[in-house]
A and B are shown apart, each in its own frame.
Chain A
Amino acid sequence: MNVDKIREDFSVLNKGIRYFDSACMSLRPKQVVNKITEYYNEYPACAGRSTHKLGNMVSDEVNSSRRLIKNFIGAKKDSEIIFTKNATEGINLLANSFNGEKVLLTDREHNSNLVPWQKFKQGILRSNEDYSFNLEKFSEGVRNYELVSFVATSNLDGYTLPIKEIVKIAHENNVKVHLDGAQHVPHNEINVKKLDLDYLSFSGHKMLGPSGTGVFYAKEELLKNMKQFIIGGETVINSTYNDFVMEKLPHKFEGGLQNYAGIIGLGAAVKYLSKIGMSDIHDHEIKLRNAVDVSGLKLIGNNSGSIANFNVPGVNYHEVATILDTSDNIMIRSGRHCVHSWYNAQNIEGSARASFYLYNTLDEVQVLNEALNKLKKLM
């Protein structure tokens, strides 16, 4: 993996910035930006409706994106890929269509995988003391639920759940599994077919794709039985004043005119990531995270994967982020990272989070370390 060559594709990196906020929003390579521009310049029309040349071009490109994404996550059929505007919409789709009452969550869910389930009878599975997943407790209690909806890789600390074991145990107990893959899919190889995963939601903007794009995956037989969520144009074949005939998959869940430029751009992003290889990207991120000098920092959570979450003793987390930005152009996130429930439970006010991706370098991490050492001296 040639990081210098990769960096040439991200024009914003020429501005002398050190971008460590990819867990919030990744940067986009020129290949993605060009593909979006291509849509607006070459075929800015509707897909699936109009039979003219431009319409057909858009349909082809959208279908191609769907296929690329299907292959990227190892799904069985194109129709199992539903385009959404982000992971949150995907989770809301499931929460509004799910015919069940009891849902099990972990104790570190992003608000997007917590709030939509609060209308259900909800169970929270506490982590072990070292913030790892409590597989034993899960095995004991999972039978009491109809669905488990877990964050596959936490945006809090980068911890990845033992997905394979979770799916196996849940299925042994006739419980369906949904994964919030917003942080997992951009950084790890995933194969939903091999995992026998029931549902998966993820966002495009965290994996080099355009903002306003996301994907909801479900096994075809499950999708067929799911109620529609957003309905209207595109989701029906026919209608009378009083009734309508539902569209087939995947369109029955894709209400209204879609974000074609975004979908096509997301296809380009997936192509880009596939070409580099998710395994190499993951290894690179681990190297970067391990290079962070954590001495004197108060670490938050498990600190694994591509995320370093910490507090500098005596310095407010928002101050840490602003000082790093002002002094060294280092961009990190501060706050509660949309995992308010976990911070409240732990009685921690907030923290600073550096998250890495394929375009970051060890030299950049070195600059971060030097800046953090200066910050430590403030106390």
Chain B
Amino acid sequence: MICLLSLIVFGILAIFSASYRPLAKEAFDCVFRRMTLRKCQSGLDVKVKSKIVGRLIGKSTKLAKGVHKYFEVISWFFVILFFVSLFFSGQALYNVIVYDNCNGISEGDEVPGYCIITGEGGGDVVDEEIVSCEDPQCADGICEECGTECECGDCSDP
């Protein structure tokens, strides 16, 4: 199952670097064979597994043994995690397109959570941006209330 993740990772990397293209191709071949209920022949799964176990074996034999033994289960876990994450990302994207934020319709005065796609919403991060950059009372460095020189945020909290 690790081939599926490899295909996505190497597929993206292959867009930018030719050196990843053979790996992406290998991963594709592996995924295709698995989808048609055949054994992966490229050995990519073995390579990835043994690279990981090789790194771990020097640090903890027990951990390496666990990864080696349950690698397929761990691979499935990450694949499921990937699809769950893909689902929520898709949902967020849909919300951005339809409602202008990742979290869908806000009810009443509810402040929408932070949205990584638009960079808006959430608590402190949003406030800070509004105060520092969009203080309506400090226009061109002059405070509209008192007429003195000001910096952003000065006039909001006199």
Contact = CB atoms under 8 A, between A and B. Distances in A.
B64 A378 contact: yes
A347 interface: no
A318 B46 contact: yes
Interface string A171-201: 0000000000000000000000000000000
A78 B132 CA distance: 88
Contact of B57 (A318, A321, A374): A374
A321 B47 CA distance: 10
B58 A327 contact: yes
Contacts of B38: none
A39 B48 CA distance: 43
A327 B57 contact: yes
B50 A326 contact: yes
Interface string A348-379: 00000000000000000000000000110111
Contact of A378 (B51, B53, B55): B53
A322 B50 contact: yes
B21 interface: no
Given A327-B55, A327-B57, A374-B57, A318 B50 contact: yes
Interface in A314-328: 315-316, 318-328
A323 B51 CA distance: 6
A322 B54 CA distance: 7
Nearest to B64: A378
A319 B53 CA distance: 9
Interface in A131-180: none
How many chain A residues sit at the interface, stated as a range, is 10 to 19
B50 A319 contact: yes
Nearest to A375: B57
B57 A323 contact: yes
Contacts of A325: 54
Interface string B129-146: 000000000000000000
B46 A319 contact: yes
A72 to B, nearest CB: 39
Interface in A291-329: 315-316, 318-328
* Of A320, A321, A322, most B-chain CB atoms within 10 Å: A322
Nearest to B62: A377
Contacts of B55: 326-327
B61 interface: yes
16 contacts: A316-B50, A319-B46, A319-B53, A322-B47, A326-B51, A326-B53, A326-B54, A327-B55, A327-B57, A328-B58, A374-B58, A374-B64, A377-B65, A378-B53, A378-B65, A378-B68
Interface of B: 43, 46-47, 49-51, 53-55, 57-58, 61, 64-65, 68-69
